[in-house]
Structure 1
Amino acid sequence: MAMSFDPFSELDRLTGNLLQFRPGPRFMPVDLYRDGDQYVLNADLPGVDPGSVDVDVDGQLLTIRAQRTAAAQDGVKWLAEERPHGTYLRQFSLGEGVDSEKISASYDNGVLSVLMPVSEKAKPRKIRIGSAEHNDEQRTISV
């Protein structure tokens, strides 16, 4: 009985193994948008233990870390093991427009939500302009 060799399925198997066991952090897809006076970041972290999720701010750098552990199934023969496990890591530069003291986060149904309020100094405000000739005259300009 002759065995046939399919180079494409072999390449697919090798590539799958390389991607699954590659070193370094796993990919964490995010959505980021501004909603009024806050920025909202939603990160997909399905199957991640909420206790392993860590969000911290160091200066203007927001870092999200999480860990997904491999399933511990003794005595089973794996037919497919495609769900990635390991460390997830993303970092974002906040800039001056975020009030880093008031950032909050929640984790629900595999989605991490980080709320980042816009800082007071980054919000639009009105500047009063006095007249150099007439100190009692003032105008208001929106910025």
Structure 2
Amino acid sequence: MLMRTDPFRDIDRMFEQLAGTSGRPAVMHIDAERDGDWFNVYFDLPGVDPDSIELTVERNVLSVKAQRQRFQRDGVETVISERPMGVFTRQLFLGDTLNTDDLQASYDNGVLTLRIPVSEKAKPRKISIGGGGSNPKQIRG
């Protein structure tokens, strides 16, 4: 008996592992950047109800949880269902250099934006150096 195989099966399987499936949602993709005294993080959450987004910070661990649901309508037959649905979660480990007490969050056009100020102790500072003489000055950072 000759078995035929789908040459694209392995490619489809790899794509499902990267993008997720309806049973196992995909990873919440992010970008992060430092802009002067702020650290900005952008989470892609298209189609997510803003009321379903939960943000928590505990011991410098930022957790984001969001849910996207498929709404079924009477008399409508689903023909293709590829968009990942369900609960999406992501954790970020934040350094001690960020002031999580003043974290700001906004959600617009499917993007959750977090702005976290850099703490005062992490900002660069100038250290003055005294001239040579009989009373050396101590340098503090």
Percent identity of equivalent pairs:
40
TM-score by length of 2: 0.79
Aligned to 2:78: 78
CA contact (8 A) 1:128 1:139 kept: no
Helix, strand or coil for the counterpart of 1:101? Answer: helix
TM-score by length of 1: 0.78
The one-letter amino acid of 1:20's match is T
The one-letter amino acid of 1:8's match is D
Aligned to 1:126: 126
**Which digits, 9 at most, give the CA deviation of each residue in 1:58-110, with x for residues without a partner?**
01101111000112123322211111110111111111110111111000010
Q: 1:61 to 1:75 in 2, by over 3 A?
A: same
Q: Superposition RMSD on alpha carbons, in Å?
A: 3.1
* Cα shift at 1:133: 2.9
Select between 123-132 and 49-58 the one with higher mean Cα deviation: 123-132
Q: 1:54 to 1:120 in 2, by over 3 A?
A: same
Structure 2 residue runs without a partner (length 5+): none
- For residues 71 and 10 of structure 1, the distance between their equivalents in structure 2, rounded to whole angstroms, comes to 30
1:1-143 to structure 2, matched below 5 A, reads 7-8=5-6, 11=9, 15=13, 19-23=20-24, 26-129=26-129, 133-134=134-135
* Cα shift at 1:127: 2.9
Runs of 4+ in structure 1 off by over 6 angstroms are none
Q: 1:71 to 1:124 in 2, by over 3 A?
A: same
Structure 1 residue runs without a partner (length 5+): none
Helix, strand or coil for the counterpart of 2:112? Answer: strand
* Cα shift at 1:17: 8.2
CA contact (8 A) 1:103 1:116 kept: yes
**Which digits, 9 at most, give the CA deviation of each residue in 1:36-65, with x for residues without a partner?**
101100111000000001111101101111
Q: How many residues align?
A: 134
- For residues 71 and 45 of structure 1, the distance between their equivalents in structure 2, rounded to whole angstroms, comes to 17
